[in-house]
């Protein structure tokens, strides 16, 4: 059964931006002013109004994989695959998150985290850092792949299947809210198949809605299910009035889209460099 989300008079929805550094002169760039869907990471000045439609609470068939029993077990499984990203651009610095895709240093994040960046630094879960370069981006899907140049014993994430999720399932968000790398928050799947649209920007189809706390700097980070598989990439939150933090309405790009887009980016990059 699909329920249409009512239009909220007086609410605005904005994408979730990463935390901007002191050079911007603002502590939280891109956070929502009204009910805004703020990007959990990204370039300053790119926040636009967004709308949300659709959604379903239909129960889905489980994939038969045993779930971890505690939030700490899920976090321990996922944290080694999540990185903090610092993206420098003229006059600004943004902090976001990313998820390791491959042992060679390929990392997925949001396009709005690294858009226009002139320099990128990745911090791994063991505290080691590495310069990184943009491999390719998909602005339409708000996804990007970057590659770290110095890679140690990194742990690639396991991409799951959000189609196995049901409303009420436990999910865990891991990333770098406000630059605090390795932060873990937990919640449930609030709804599935949300259509989240940023005015003049990316349209996220089949987004996962969650009440796990997501804040600026979480963009590009992991949303994991009870098995420790990555079922989404965190990208946006809703905020109200002058409140800058999470109000329990966050959104993630589903793993199926992440897999398709990142595979295309990496394949296209390989064909260009060969």
CA atoms within 13 A on the CB side of 270: 7
Average pLDDT of span 238-249: 73
Say how far apart CA 142 and CA 169 lie, in whole Å: 25
Of 142, 169, 181, 225, the active-site residue reads: 142
Q: Which of 181, 219, 225, 246 is catalytic?
A: 219
CATH number of 82-156: 2.40.10.10
8 a catalytic residue:
no
- Bridge partner list, 207: 194
263 given a catalytic annotation: no
Cβ–Cβ < 8 Å for 34, 241: yes
Summarised one tens digit per residue, pLDDT across range 254-266 is 999 999 999 999 9
Higher pLDDT, 248 or 99: 99
The Cβ of residue 137 has, within 10 Å, a number of other Cβ atoms equal to: 20
What is the rounded distance in angstroms from the CA atom of residue 222 to the CA atom of residue 11?
Answer: 27
Q: What is the DSSP letter of 78?
A: H
pLDDT band at residue 248, thresholds of 50, 70 and 90? Answer: confident
We find that the CATH architecture of domain 19-59+158-260 is Beta Barrel (2.40)
Residue ranges of the domains in the chain?
Answer: 19-59+158-260, 82-156
Which of the following is catalytic: 97, 112, 181, 225?
A: 112
**Same-fold call for 19-59+158-260 versus 82-156:** yes
Summarised one tens digit per residue, pLDDT across range 121-176 is: 999 999 999 999 999 999 999 999 999 998 888 999 999 999 999 999 999 999 99
Pick 203 or 77 by higher pLDDT.
77
Q: Is 219 a catalytic residue?
A: yes
Q: Where are the alpha helices (DSSP H) in the chain?
A: 71-78, 111-114, 255-273
Q: How many helices (H) and strands (E) does the chain have?
A: 3, 15
């Amino acid at each position: 059964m699909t329920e249409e989300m009512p239009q909220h008079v007086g609410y605005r929805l904005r994408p979730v931006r990463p935390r901007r550094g002191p050079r911007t002169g603002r502590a939280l760039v891109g956070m929502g002013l009204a009910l805004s869907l703020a990007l959990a990471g990204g370039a300053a000045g790119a926040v636009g109004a967004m709308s949300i439609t659709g959604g379903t609470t239909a129960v889905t068939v489980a994939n038969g994989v045993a779930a971890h029993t505690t939030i700490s077990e899920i976090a321990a499984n996922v944290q080694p695959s999540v990185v903090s990203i610092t993206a420098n651009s003229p006059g600004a610095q943004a902090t976001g998150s990313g998820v390791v895709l491959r042992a060679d240093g390929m990392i997925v994040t949001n396009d709005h985290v690294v858009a226009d960046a002139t320099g990128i630094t990745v911090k791994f879960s063991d505290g080691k850092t590495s310069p990184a370069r943009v491999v390719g981006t998909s602005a339409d899907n708000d996804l990007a792949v970057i590659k770290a140049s110095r890679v140690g014993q990194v742990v690639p994430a396991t991409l799951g299947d959000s189609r196995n999720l049901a409303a009420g399932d436990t999910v865990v968000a891991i990333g770098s809210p406000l630059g605090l790398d390795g932060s873990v928050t937990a919640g449930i799947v609030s709804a599935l198949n949300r259509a989240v649209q940023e005015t003049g920007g990316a349209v996220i189809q089949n987004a996962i809605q969650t009440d796990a706390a997501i804040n600026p700097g979480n963009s590009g980070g992991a949303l994991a299910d009870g098995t420790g598989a990555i079922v989404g990439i965190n990208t946006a939150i809703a905020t109200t009035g002058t409140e800058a933090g999470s109000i329990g309405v966050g959104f993630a790009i589903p793993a199926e889209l992440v897999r398709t887009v990142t595979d295309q980016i990496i394949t296209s990059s390989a064909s260009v460099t060969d």
